[in-house]
Structure 1
Amino acid sequence: MSIRDTLEKSIFDQTDESTTVPLSIRLPNHLNNELEELTLTLDKSKSFLLLEFIKAGIIETNKLLEEKAMNPQIEEQRDSDDFIKRKKFMLNTNFNNDKSSHFQMLENQEAAAFCKGWKEYICNLSEGDKVYLYQSGVGFIASGTVTGDLIKNEYHGKADEKYCKKLKDFKVGFKAISAKEFKALTNSGANFRMTMVELTSTQTQKLDEEIEKRMKSIHSK
């Protein structure tokens, strides 16, 4: 692992693979019987197989949700001087599909999406909109305000497959706000598997307050 990879891992990736959470489930009898058969056939424990099934199920479910989220309707750019028309969005950092794009988004302080069908989400960001970057499996990890025009870059050797807009007043480095914490803070949920989803003013007010609190705790150390 290079020095750059090490720094990216330590600074920009808050994935916690060192701890586990106990989970209790009840299975229908016929599924339990099939699981028993697999444990004997493969010489693997039930807990090992269940964990692998959950991992695979999450991956496939994410793929289905990504397909459903393709081809967003493109809106007209809103007047940046009209504060009432400014919107607030949660943007997924694409960590599950491409870790390097996740790190680049944080390093470059930008909102980005990739490939036809998803990159078009960035076209719906207008000057002055607030964006909260969300890392799947971790939580909200950064925020910033949209500034400047749409930028098109190559992605994996293909021209114009990355759309992005710069973010100013960028905040990063605070302890991630998980989906569970978001629900507790806002008393509401959100579609955490969409590429980009609009948040309410109430939700973002609570997010901003929590981010500010966590940023202060960093500076006080």
Structure 2
Amino acid sequence: MATNFLEKLSSDLIERNQEKTTFSIRLSVKEDLILQEVAEYFEFSRQELIHRLITEQIIEPWKKKHKEQLVEVEFEEGKDLVNYFLLNTNKINDVKDHEWMLAEKVAAAFEDGYKEKIQKFEKGDWIFLYESGKGIVAYGKATGELEKTDHYGRADKTFYQKLENFHLIKNPLRASEIKKILGREFPFAPTLSRMVGGEKILNEIKLRG
């Protein structure tokens, strides 16, 4: 119980330290008046009310969906067989994790149940790094050699493999483009997904230079 409590405190600390951003929306005068009336009734500012709405009705359900999609990723084995994977860079949970992966040219995962899958990459597997809100921003080939390091002071919580032939993509391949190229829906929420037909994505990226 204590371990779970401390891990939650650590997770909450990371969440609070995330960079903040702002956005604006346009409302009619009538809509704005209603929003202000609701906010005043419950003793919130309009910003606080909208933030709670977004958090509770969009962000939290999305996180829950993300957690529920922790399924066993299929790894195919065989001589000369190359697997293609889409690995989410974890930017939604921690911007620093995302930046570290790109700076160090690695494929990594940081949570129990996810990080163990990194060790299954075989030498030569292609890994596409996917940044939430942008698309595939980088790619490279797995070395097949698992390495570990700490994560916020917790020893060996980061599992990673270095990526050979690493490339940053100037114009990220967006989710809508990926689905169009593959000709089907694709799960972008999970940390890791095997991409059948990934050679099509690789060819498109190379064509774009």
Same fold (TM over 0.5): yes
Over residues 42-77 of structure 1, what are the superposed CA-to-partner deviations in whole Å (9 max), with x where a residue is unaligned? 5749xx9668634543321232133224474797x9
Question: Is the 8 Å Cα contact of residues 74 and 120 (structure 1) preserved in structure 2?
Answer: no
Letter in 2 for 1:61: P
Match of residue 30 from structure 1: none
**Residues of 2 paired with 1:59 and 1:118: CA distance?**
20
Letter in 1 for 2:119: C
**Residues of 1 paired with 2:150 and 2:50: CA distance?**
39
Match of residue 30 from structure 2: none
Q: Secondary structure at the match of 1:137?
A: coil
Match of 2:188 among 184, 187, 192: 192
Answering whether residue 119 of structure 2 is matched by residue 120 of structure 1, we say no
Question: Is the 8 Å Cα contact of residues 174 and 211 (structure 1) preserved in structure 2?
Answer: no
**Residues of 1 paired with 2:175 and 2:55: CA distance?**
18
Going from structure 1 to structure 2, the CA distance change for 1:65 and 1:159 (only over 3 Å counts) comes to same
Match of 2:154 among 152, 158, 161: 158
Match of 1:144 among 112, 115, 140: 140
**Residues of 2 paired with 1:185 and 1:51: CA distance?**
35
Going from structure 1 to structure 2, the CA distance change for 1:52 and 1:117 (only over 3 Å counts) comes to same
Q: Secondary structure at the match of 2:140?
A: strand
Match of 2:88 among 83, 87, 92: 92
Question: Is the 8 Å Cα contact of residues 73 and 192 (structure 2) preserved in structure 1?
Answer: no
Answering whether residue 55 of structure 2 is matched by residue 59 of structure 1, we say no
Note the C-alpha offset of 1:181.
Answer: 1.7
Match of residue 7 from structure 2: none
Going from structure 1 to structure 2, the CA distance change for 1:112 and 1:128 (only over 3 Å counts) comes to same
Q: Secondary structure at the match of 2:129?
A: strand
Question: Is the 8 Å Cα contact of residues 35 and 46 (structure 2) preserved in structure 1?
Answer: no
TM-score, normalised by the number of residues in structure 1:
0.68
**Residues of 2 paired with 1:18 and 1:177: CA distance?**
25
> What's the C-alpha RMSD, in Å, of the aligned pairs?
3.1
Letter in 1 for 2:38: L
Instruction: Give structure 2 stretches of 5+ with no counterpart.
Output: 1-20, 27-33
Note the C-alpha offset of 1:108.
Answer: 1.1
**Residues of 1 paired with 2:206 and 2:49: CA distance?**
41
Instruction: Give structure 1 stretches of 5+ with no counterpart.
Output: 1-16, 23-33, 216-221
Identity %: 30
Answering whether residue 204 of structure 2 is matched by residue 210 of structure 1, we say yes
**Residues of 2 paired with 1:165 and 1:214: CA distance?**
26
Going from structure 1 to structure 2, the CA distance change for 1:73 and 1:205 (only over 3 Å counts) comes to closer
Question: Is the 8 Å Cα contact of residues 74 and 123 (structure 1) preserved in structure 2?
Answer: no
Over residues 158-204 of structure 1, what are the superposed CA-to-partner deviations in whole Å (9 max), with x where a residue is unaligned? 11100001111111132111111212222212110101001112xx2
**Residues of 1 paired with 2:174 and 2:73: CA distance?**
28
Question: Is the 8 Å Cα contact of residues 74 and 194 (structure 2) preserved in structure 1?
Answer: no
How many residue pairs are counted as aligned between the two chains?
Answer: 180
Question: Is the 8 Å Cα contact of residues 90 and 199 (structure 1) preserved in structure 2?
Answer: yes
Letter in 2 for 1:151: E
